[in-house]
């Protein structure tokens, strides 16, 4: 399609990418073998065949199990490096990646092992590919506030290597307000915040993420259109929404990509952009998400340029570096 060349060549930032969600089944098998772990699947094809999700939780169950093959610093390096090579192929010039320390520390993997494996790959990508990056530490919202505070304690010696904090995992029944005190402490420490909200959860969780967590962006946020006053606020304050179309499709947030509200968000003047979330599980990296939306939502060249520009302007790059890409 003529617009796909535009999609491929535009400089883009990715702002919603869980590094554990870039674990391809091939690497899952390779790391299982290297670490002498027996997987409950016979083959790479059997793993892929299991990726038939009905909602967020049905995905999270497999995602947390899959992450069990990640054990050494080299494993985290290899995982992150594989993503960064894909990012370069998609002409991503800047990426802000999430990691979930609790998924690993709960299994006895050291916080520093995770952090340094990821960071070593990010540093190499900046040197070899010129891809800049930020690293965002996410708290798992299905776990307790106390567990979140313990994770922040683990991170304390390394805050110079962490650019911000996020909130992810099962949204329903785990409202942002559960973590208001934890995020207040993070703010005192100078850590900017983002939060997943309005993916499966109601528009009220987006209000909470803004007012109680002081979230600078909303991850997903697609359910905001259920509340016109909220849409007006998101537009007025230009709060970015890191939208993940193929994720929303695979997790049945929408039944058909043609029904996705991405164009409606843009038309309302919101700073929305496209991201891949967990590309190894949802069937595509960044450009695949763009192309699927171009196809099913009939994105125009103007929409595509706007989405790419929004990704740069919603990033945490300093203004002068944003200006270079805009």
Q: Is residue 168 close enough to count as binding ligand ADE by CB under 6 A?
A: yes
The 3 state secondary structure assigned to 130-186 is CCEEEEEEEEECCCCHHHHHHHHHHHHHHHHHCCEEEEECCCCCCCHHHHHHHHHHH
Residue 199 sits in the site that holds ligand ADE (CB under 6 A): yes
Closer CB to ligand ADE, 10 or 222, in the complex: 222
- Of 128, 99, 318, 310, nearest to 221 by C-alpha is 310
For ligand ADE, give the closer residue by CB, 117 or 201. Answer: 201
Our finding on whether 217 is near ligand ADE (CB under 6 A) is no
Instruction: Give the number of other CB atoms < 10 A from CB of residue 160.
Output: 6
Which neighbouring-strand residues pair with 140?
168
238 C-beta neighbours (distance < 10 Å), count = 12
Which of 90, 96, 278, 303 contacts ligand ADE by CB under 6 A?
278
Tokens 């911000």, residue?
A: 164
| Residue placing its CB nearer to ligand ADE in the complex, 169 or 289 | 169
Distance CA 210, CA 232 (A): 14
* Binds 199: which of ligand ADE, Zn ion, none (CB < 5-8 Å by kind): ligand ADE
Q: Which is nearer to Zn ion, 131 or 140 (CB)?
A: 140
Length of the chain: 326
How deeply is 295 buried, as exposed, middle or buried, from its count of CB atoms within 10 A (0-12, 13-18, 19+)?
middle
Q: Which residue has the tokens 């103007």?
A: 302
Packing angle, helices 180-188 and 145-155, rounded to 10? 20
CB of 277 to Zn ion, least distance (A): 5
Q: Where are the alpha helices (DSSP H) in the chain?
A: 2-9, 25-34, 44-49, 56-66, 73-89, 101-105, 111-129, 145-155, 180-188, 203-211, 228-236, 245-250, 262-267, 279-282, 286-297, 301-313, 319-325
Does residue number 250 form part of the binding site for ligand ADE (CB under 6 A)?
no
Among 90, 277, 288, 303, binds ligand ADE (CB under 6 A): 277
14 binds Zn ion (CB under 5 A): no
**Active site includes 199?**
yes
Evaluate whether 319 touches 130 at the Cβ level (below 8 Å). Answer: no
Instruction: Kindly state the smallest distance separating residue 106's Cβ from Zn ion, in Å.
Output: 19
Contact with Zn ion (CB under 5 A) among 73, 100, 171, 277: 277
Which of Zn ion, ligand ADE, none sits in contact with 78, Cβ below 5 to 8 A by type?
none
Please select the residue that binds ligand ADE; options are 80, 133, 169, 289, rule is CB under 6 A: 169
247 binds ligand ADE (CB under 6 A): yes
Residue 22 touching ligand ADE (CB under 6 A): no
196 known member of a binding site: yes
What gap in Å lies between CA 189 and CA 223, rounded to an integer? 31
Does 220 belong to an annotated binding site?
A: no
Which residue among the candidates 199, 226, 259, 320 is catalytic per the annotation? 199
**How many residues belong to the site for Zn ion (CB under 5 A)?**
1
Q: Out of 31, 56, 67, 191, which residue is the one contacting ligand ADE (CB under 6 A)? A: 56
Residues in contact with Zn ion by CB under 5 A are 277
Residues in contact with ligand ADE by CB under 6 A are 18, 21, 56, 168-169, 196, 199, 247, 277-278
Instruction: Summarize the annotated binding site as residue ranges.
Output: 16, 18, 196, 277-278
């Amino acid at each position: 399609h003529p617009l796909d060349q535009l999609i491929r060549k535009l400089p883009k930032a990715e702002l919603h990418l869980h590094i554990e969600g870039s674990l391809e089944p091939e690497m899952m098998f390779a790391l299982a073998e290297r670490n002498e772990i027996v997987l409950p699947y016979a083959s790479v094809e059997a793993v892929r065949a299991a990726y038939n999700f009905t909602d967020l939780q049905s995905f999270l169950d497999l995602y947390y199990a899959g992450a069990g093959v990640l054990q050494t610093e080299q494993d985290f390096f290899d995982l992150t490096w594989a993503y960064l090579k894909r990012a370069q192929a998609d002409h991503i010039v800047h990426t802000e990646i999430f990691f979930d320390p609790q998924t690993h520390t709960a299994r006895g993997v050291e916080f520093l092992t995770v952090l340094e494996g990821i960071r070593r790959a990010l540093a190499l990508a900046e040197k070899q590919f010129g891809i800049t990056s930020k690293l965002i530490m996410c708290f798992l919202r299905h776990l307790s506030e106390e567990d979140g505070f313990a994770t922040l304690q683990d991170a304390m010696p390394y805050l110079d290597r962490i650019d911000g904090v996020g909130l992810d995992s099962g949204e329903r029944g785990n409202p942002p307000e559960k973590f208001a005190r934890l995020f207040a402490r993070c703010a005192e420490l100078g850590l900017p915040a983002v939060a997943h909200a309005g993916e499966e959860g109601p528009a009220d969780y987006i209000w909470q993420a803004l007012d109680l967590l002081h979230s600078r962006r909303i991850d997903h946020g697609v359910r905001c259109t259920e509340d016109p006053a909220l849409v007006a606020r998101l537009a007025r304050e230009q709060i970015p929404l890191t939208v993940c179309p193929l994720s929303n499709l695979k997790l049945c947030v929408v039944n058909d990509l043609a029904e996705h509200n991405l164009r409606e968000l843009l038309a309302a003047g919101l700073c929305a952009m496209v991201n891949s979330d967990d590309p190894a599980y949802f069937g595509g990296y960044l450009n695949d998400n763009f192309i699927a939306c171009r196809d099913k939502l009939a994105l125009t060249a103007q929409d595509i340029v706007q989405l790419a520009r929004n990704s740069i302007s919603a990033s945490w790059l300093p203004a002068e570096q944003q200006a270079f890409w805009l």
